[in-house]
């Protein structure tokens, strides 16, 4: 079933059905029409199909079952290595071992990721975005043998959908659209913006199961805690240094 962005949902269960290499390559090529800084295309994609590599990738993504369950796992990497090596080969002096260049490459990569996902979904595939890529970049760097001046940014599992979950809620658009300047949020506005989310039965269940007072506490105390975020921020900065993007 074709999916456009309007009807999309994350797909976590896939049929036992491969994606032909030519089809995948074609989508990975077409996605390159997304905007890219100075037409430098500052990204690479590592394609994982082998059971052995999925086995090794899995714990780096906290054993989320999509890694082993999908026919294809794609690790999208910010890449200034290729461009820098080309400059060196041409007796040009590259200067891309810095934070701005890293963020330029991250930007190129994420636009490319979304362009790819839209194409894959339009072709009837389902995708899942694994945010865990940023939680343990060094492990992924080591496993995929990512050289200096590259950095893993996003992992996408892709396959033929074997489920059709409900679309999740989204905030009302006025929650994030600001006219001319940013209008900061009053308590009353926040109550309205998060009202629907807080009322959802499944979210109320999360609050109950986790013995919290409200949904916000589920996020701060269980899902995305200060302690974890700070520890993983250290790992992120260390990996950025190891990959040559930060002094």
Residues 14-73 that bind a second copy (CB under 8 A): 25, 28-35, 37-41, 43-50, 53
Of the residues 72, 106, 120, 158, which one makes contact with a second copy according to CB under 8 A:
106
Near a second copy by CB under 8 A: residue from 199, 204, 210, 220: 220
Q: What's the closest the beta carbon of residue 163 comes to a second copy, in angstroms?
A: 16
Q: Does 207 bind a second copy (CB under 8 A)?
A: no
Tell the smallest beta-carbon distance from residue 160 to a second copy (Å). 18
Q: Least distance (Å) from a second copy to the CB of residue 242?
A: 15
CA 44 to centroid of chain Cα atoms: 14
The conformational region for residue 26 under phi > 0 = left, psi -120 to 50 = alpha, else beta, is alpha
Q: Which DSSP string corresponds to 110-157?
A: HHHHHHHHHHHHHTT-EEEEEGGGGTSHHHHHHHHTPPTTEEEEEEEE
Nearer to a second copy, 15 or 175 (CB): 175
Among the residue ranges 12-20, 64-72, 92-100, 158-166, the one whose residues contact a second copy (CB under 8 A): 92-100
Structure token digits, residue 154: 């996003």
Distance, CA of 155 to CA of 143 (rounded, Å): 14
H or E element, residue 60: helix 51-60
Applying CB under 8 A, the span of 12-20, 61-69, 122-130, 158-166 interacting with a second copy comes to: 122-130
The answer to whether 179 contacts a second copy (rule: CB under 8 A) is: yes
Rounded least distance, CB 229 to a second copy, Å? 5
- Cα angle at 208 between 204 and 209, to 5 degrees? 115
Is position 238 an interface residue for a second copy (rule: CB under 8 A)? no
Q: Measured between alpha carbons, how far is residue 66 from residues 42, 137, 239 in Å?
A: 27, 18, 25
Residues ≥6 apart with Cβ < 8 Å to 85:
none
Residues 147 to 166: which contact a second copy by CB under 8 A?
Answer: 147, 150, 153-154
Lookup: tokens for 224: 């995305």
Contact between 79 and a second copy by CB under 8 A: the answer reads yes
136 is a contact residue toward a second copy (CB under 8 A): no
Q: Report, in Å, the least distance between residue 209 CB and a second copy.
A: 16
User: Using CB atoms within 10 A of its CB, is residue 2 exposed (0-12), middle (13-18) or buried (19+)?
Assistant: exposed
Member of 63, 65, 219, 241 binding a second copy (CB under 8 A): 219
Kindly state whether residue 1 participates in binding a second copy, applying the rule CB under 8 A.
Answer: no
């Amino acid at each position: 079933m074709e999916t456009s962005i309007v009807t999309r949902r994350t797909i976590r269960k896939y049929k036992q059905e491969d994606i032909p290499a030519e089809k995948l390559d074609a989508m990975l090529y077409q996605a390159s029409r997304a905007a890219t800084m100075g037409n430098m295309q500052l990204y690479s994609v590592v394609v994982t199909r082998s059971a052995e590599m999925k086995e090794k990738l899995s714990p780096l993504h906290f054993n989320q079952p999509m890694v082993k369950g999908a026919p294809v796992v794609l690790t999208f990497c910010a890449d200034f290595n290729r461009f820098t090596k080309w400059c060196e080969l041409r007796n040009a002096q590259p200067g891309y071992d810095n934070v701005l260049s890293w963020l330029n490459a991250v930007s190129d990569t994420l636009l490319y990721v979304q362009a790819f996902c839209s194409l894959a979904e339009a072709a009837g595939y389902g995708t899942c975005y694994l945010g865990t890529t940023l939680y343990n970049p060094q492990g992924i760097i080591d496993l995929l043998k990512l050289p200096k001046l590259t950095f893993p940014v996003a992992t996408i599992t892709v396959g033929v959908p074997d489920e059709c979950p409900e679309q999740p809620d989204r905030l009302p658009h006025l929650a994030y659209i600001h006219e001319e300047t940013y209008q900061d949020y009053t308590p009353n506005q926040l109550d309205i913006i998060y009202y629907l989310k807080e009322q959802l039965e499944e979210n109320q269940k999360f609050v109950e199961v986790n013995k919290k007072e409200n949904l916000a506490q589920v996020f701060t105390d269980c899902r995305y805690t200060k302690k974890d975020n700070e520890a993983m921020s250290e790992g992120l900065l260390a990996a950025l240094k190891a990959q040559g993007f930060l002094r």
